[in-house]
Structure 1
Amino acid sequence: MRRKGSTFIQFRKRIPKDVLPKAGGVTLAIPVGDGLCRMVVGENAAEITCSLRTRDPQEAKERHTVAAAYLDSVWQALREGPKRLTQKQIAALAGEAYREPVGLFEDDPGKPLIWKEIDRLHTEAMEGGAETKEQWFGPTVDQILAKHHLVVDTESRSALIEAAGRAIVDASARLGRNAGGDYSPDIVEQRFPALELTREAKAAKPLPQGSQTITGLVVGWWREAKAAGRAVSTHEAYERVAQQLSEFLGHDDARAVTQDDILAFKDHRLSQGVSLKTIGGGDISGIRQLFAWGIANRKVSHNPAMGVKVAKVKKKRTRDPGFSDKEAVAILSHAYHHTRTGKGSTHLSNARRWVPWLCAYSGARVGEVSQLRKQDFRKEDGLWIMRITPEAGTVKDGDYRDVPLHQHLVDQGFLDFIAKAPEGYLFMKVFGSTEEAQRGAWRTTKNRVTDFVREIVNDPEVQPNHGWRHRFMTIGRNLDISRDVRFSITGHEPGAEGDDYGVASLEAKAAAIAKFPRYEVKPPL
């Protein structure tokens, strides 16, 4: 759902009746993407709502699953009643109160005077009474407990506030030394033990046999996700990261994976030169999703990727992400003059000739065009239509869309090419009838077209798969083509609730396509 006045998709879930009397006043730290949605449950609240902080429906589904699994674990903790923390567990949790501020500020702590004042305030709070400590350190403790889905007794919480307060005082003192240029080894951090919480749970509630492997989680998740229409590319990504994690750990036991394991895996991927975007948005997100499914289906009892964060890097742009006029004409001229040579594949030669032109006049992704079939083109009410559909292969949003052909494509003889083409895929040759064979052929065509474009434009700041999409949207704005029509042509997800009502007609899209100026290239000599 979307909240009125917001374009972000909302999470909404009722509190189970049996825990309603116990939920009031409980602090929640609901995982949303790489962050947390923190809230205190109202005394009379009947449901939990928070923003999923995304406009992408597919991403919202994934975040919804993770958030729902988190809440289920909190409700179960409330059903089981408050837990008593051991002294070692209290020390381990206090360590998180120490590491978070140190991790955030140690690289660039600022002026020593700032931390001297902060240290003074924290020290005074620790010298105050229980009410003062609650005011200063209680929120931090609640967030730590919420992150681990813990509901603890009063005595344990009071002891944790005391320990966390001391840890925070030590953290501000440490950052004060950092601000003064002292980066000597951190002996304070060493006193905090690793957190162990799951031993009792494992002993009390044995998990089903044969379904606790890391790679097995992928199999179970995909069985359900495939029926729900999830993209094959997502399955491939999850399967890949599960295998990588299993190989890195040297075992495949999902129940034995700890948060420290995931942190070590993150560092390992960084050492391999993998980008932060891939690690955060692909690796950690995938592991988090798999374990969330595992919790929801009683395959595992914890999610080790919960709370593991990866820094976001703001990419510095030095140019427009779309192809320039000169680049666009150069690429299309390269395609226009392309001819098959020697024993080269007919399908790949056709892809080099037509895929860039179809992308240029539709804003479609290279992969969407690479998998087009003869039956995906039709004539309706005098208009030639290209249908981009998940029936042909991968489509990011999982929905079809119809795009009228630009007259320039017709004039170049594209309809003659369609008429002479055999039934089936136009730009790829599939050897076999399996989904794996189709995906392999699709990747080959997409990669060969990308290589073909890179022969002309090798600037890493513009991507062959999205350069046409950016350019198409820019030209559309310049031509005053309405937002809903542009989005309907390119398959972008609308952002406001009102955009979901009604459709952009074929006539409206054809009129928009007709406005796009022709790309003039010189005919062959």
Structure 2
Amino acid sequence: MASRMRRKGSTFIQFRKRIPKDVLGKTGGVTLAIPVGGELLHIVIGDRAIEITGSLKTRDPGEAKERQAVALAYLDSVWQSLREGPKRLTQKQIAALAGEAYSGLISSFEDDPGSPDIWKQIVQLHANAMAGDQAERERWFGPSVDQTLATHRLVIDGDSRAALISAIGVSVSLASVRLAQNAGGDYSPDTVVTRFPPLELSKEVKPSQPMPKGSQTITGLAEGWWGEAKAAGRTVSTYDAYSRAARLLSEFLGHDDARAVTADDVIAFKDYRLSQGVGLKTITGGDLPGIRQLYAWGMANRKVSHNPADGVKVAKVKKKRTRDPDFSDQEAVVILSHAFNHKRTGKASEHLSNAKRWIPWLCAYTGARVGEMVQLRKQDIREEDGLWIIKITPEAGTVKDAEYRDVPLHEHLVEMGFPTFVSKASKGYLFMKVFGDTEDAKRSAWRSTKNRVTDFVREVVTDPAVQPNHGWRHRFRTVARDIGMPRDISFAITGHETKDEGDKYGTITNKAKAAALAKYPRYPMGLK
């Protein structure tokens, strides 16, 4: 029999399950990893224990009932495994489980892995752990093993566990090396993942129990929200950020049940992301707002009854600033010379080669975001009243605030032949090749090209304290101030939002923008 109760001194509902008599003599020393609300409740069964008790981490009777059902299903599978004897894993099964740990770590961080230096430090820490004794490896990789085993409700023998800890130690180390490469801009095909076989368990091992009927998934909240948000004009980049936050939260918790997520879960997720070296900007500007917004939508649409992200914050830490955020005069000249002298070689893509040649110059004279320039189409450049105009529009892709703006071409860009380049280009995107007509195909091409341009800039400006994308935006505003460009015109060119109500009256014409840009100093070209 199983029962629910409240432990003295705690408001959380507890569960209690007696150990079946026929396995009592086999449970001593067995390590359990009981799934409870997205967490793993680790319990080592004592030699004289006759029952298992633990917190369901909720005060809600309905949630407690569902969580208890999952916990008891896990325990039943443990008792059955003990009746049959701990499973001995084959070498192939160990390799497959290690592969799951590898893929899980990669999928969590490959889109935005952060600093290469962080991953290099992690690689060294893993190497030190692998060089230690079994106790050290257990301390470092044991939690990953427990989570992997809990996913499949497996109880394994001591020899299998020792082998699996070593295998997962190796796979996690390899994953860290791969993520260090990703962080450095290397997304070449992953040859390591092919070494891991698919997992094949014996028929006696019961699969994980499905989520309770009627449950709302975390990732499903993202899709439901996007169905409405897309119609309301929200950008694809916002959907990418929110859906990524939902996926990462689900992967961290080890389940996708939106109703089972607690504030403690979100706090643990936040702490985990911080421990992995993820920047505060990503967490406070993407992860937490995304989860909070998805649950707010879920509550408004009666998908969930609570918002676990409400009130969860990250302490603000003032970032150390060691230099100005814009490119220096020397850095600007080096980048633009690098672009001017770029030549297509070998099998390099013509679109990408054109991107490396023109995008740094376009950003330098417009203060635009790299992503806005990457998605320029032939039809977005026009001649009007003797002026060449770039139209930065959400029709082409992602534009912050979903508002278009016109930016006249600086005379230097005209003299360099950018309009001629555009006139000779094929219809469609100037700088990216899209394979397919889906939004995913466009986003993939956009992201890939943006990253390659970033890598191209990093070839000559390696200082991590300056951003290859926003460095031009900061520099444009700096130069604009130096030459006395009116702020409202400068903001109209760069697309910055003004808080001055007076700036919002009237229209800033392309003629006014062109006149201001005519005073913007020219950069030297062709330097080697």
Which secondary structure state, in structure 1, belongs to the residue aligned with residue 401 of structure 2? coil
Rounded to whole Å, the distance in 2 between the matches of 1:279 and 1:383 is: 43
The alpha-carbon deviation at position 195 of structure 1 amounts to: 7.9
Q: 1:441 aligns with which of 423, 445, 458?
A: 445
Alignment counterpart, residue 199 of structure 1, candidates 58, 61, 80 = 61
In the alignment, is residue 425 of structure 1 matched against residue 287 of structure 2?
Answer: no
- Shift in Å at residue 435 of structure 1? 0.7
Amino acid at match of 1:433: D
CA distance in 1, matches of 2:250, 2:298: 16
State the 1:499 CA deviation: 2.6
Change (3 A) 1:523 1:317: closer
Tell me the distance in 2 between the aligned counterparts of 1:427 and 1:437: 15
| Residue identity matched to 2:61 | R
Correspondent of 1:216 among 215, 220, 235? 220
Q: How does 1:457-468 map to 2 (within 5 A)?
A: 457-468=461-472
Which residue type is aligned with residue 446 of structure 2? W
Q: Name the counterpart of 1:276.
A: 280
1:183-222 C-alpha deviation (Å, 9 max, x unpaired): xxxxxxxxxx99855437999xxxx975611111011100
> Does the residue aligned with 1:458 lie in a helix, a strand or coil?
coil
1:137-152 matches, cutoff 5 A: none
Aligned to 2:195: none
Once the two structures are superposed, residues 69-114 of structure 1 have per-residue CA deviations (whole angstroms, 9 ceiling, x without a partner) of xxxxxxxxxxxxxxxxxx9999769xxxxxxxxxxxxxxxxxxxxx
Which residue of structure 2 lines up, in the alignment, with residue 327 of structure 1? 331
Counterpart position of 2:398 = 394
Q: Distance in 1 between matches of 2:525 and 2:377?
A: 27
Distance 1:89 1:393, change over 3 A: farther
Return the offset for 1:295: 0.8
In the aligned structure 1, how far is the partner of 2:527 from the partner of 2:330? 17
Equivalent residue for 2:143?
none
Q: 1:500 aligns with which of 494, 498, 504?
A: 504
Provide Cα deviations, 1:87-143, integer angstroms capped at 9, x if missing partner: 9999769xxxxxxxxxxxxxxxxxxxxxxxxxxxxxxxxxxxxxxxxxxxxxxxxxx
Give the C-alpha shift of residue 414 in structure 1: 1.1
Does structure 2 conserve the Cα–Cα contact (< 8 Å) formed by 1:202 and 1:301?
Answer: no
Alignment of 1:195-344 (within 5 A): 196-199=58-61, 210=214, 212-344=216-348
Equivalence for 2:360: 356
Match of 2:373 among 365, 369, 375: 369
CA deviations over 1:40-91 (Å, ceiling 9, x no partner): xxxxxxxxxxxxxxxxxxxxxxxxxxxxxxxxxxxxxxxxxxxxxxx99997
Q: Which amino acid aligns with 1:444?
A: S
The gaps in structure 2 that reach 5 residues or longer are 1-5, 13-54, 66-211
Deviations 1:212-236 (Å, cap 9, x if unpaired)? Answer: 1111101110001111111111111
Higher relative contact order (CA closer than 8 Å, sequence separation 6+) = 1
Number of residue pairs the alignment of both structures matches = 336
Report the Cα distance in structure 2 between the residues aligned to 1:322 and 1:264, rounded to whole angstroms: 36
Equivalent residue letter for 1:222: W
Deviation of 1:301 (Å): 0.5
For 1:475 and 1:194, locate their aligned partners in 2 and report how far apart those are by CA, in whole Å: 59
Aligned-residue offset at 1:483: 1.0
**Distance 1:225-1:518 versus aligned 2 partners, 3 A rule:** same
* CA–CA separation in structure 1 for the residues paired with 2:334 and 2:431: 22
**Distance change >3 Å, CA 249–CA 195, structure 1 → 2:** closer
How many Å apart are 1:452 and its aligned residue? 0.7
CA distance in 2, matches of 1:311, 1:281: 13
Q: 1:469: which partner in 2?
A: 473
Structure 1 counterpart SS, 2:402: coil
Task: State the shift of 1:267 in Å.
Answer: 2.1
The residue identity in structure 2 corresponding to 1:234 is: T
- Summarize the Cα distance change of 1:441–1:478 in structure 2 as closer, same or farther, 3 Å threshold: same
Tell me by how many angstroms 1:339 deviates. Answer: 0.9
Secondary structure in 1 matching 2:407:
strand
> Would the alpha carbon gap of residues 515 and 431 (structure 1) be closer, same or farther in structure 2, given more than 3 Å must change?
same
Which position in structure 2 is the counterpart of 1:107? none
CA distance in 1, matches of 2:9, 2:393: 54
Match of 2:487 among 455, 479, 483: 483
Query: Post-superposition shift, 1:252?
Result: 1.3
Q: 1:523 to 1:262 in 2, by over 3 A?
A: closer
What letter corresponds to residue 249 of structure 1 in structure 2? L
Letter in 1 for 2:464: P
Once superposed, what is the RMSD of the aligned Cα atoms?
2.4
- After TM superposition, the runs of 4+ consecutive aligned structure 1 residues lying more than 3 A away are 87-93, 193-203, 208-211
Change (3 A) 1:381 1:211: farther
Secondary structure, in 3 states, of the residue corresponding to 2:471?
A: helix
The percent of aligned pairs where both chains have the same amino acid is: 69
1:274: Cα distance to partner? 1.6
Aligned partners of 2:56 and 2:64 also within 8 Å: no
Q: Distance in 2 between matches of 1:343 and 1:420?
A: 21
User: Distance between the aligned counterparts of 2:480 and 2:213, measured in 1?
Assistant: 56
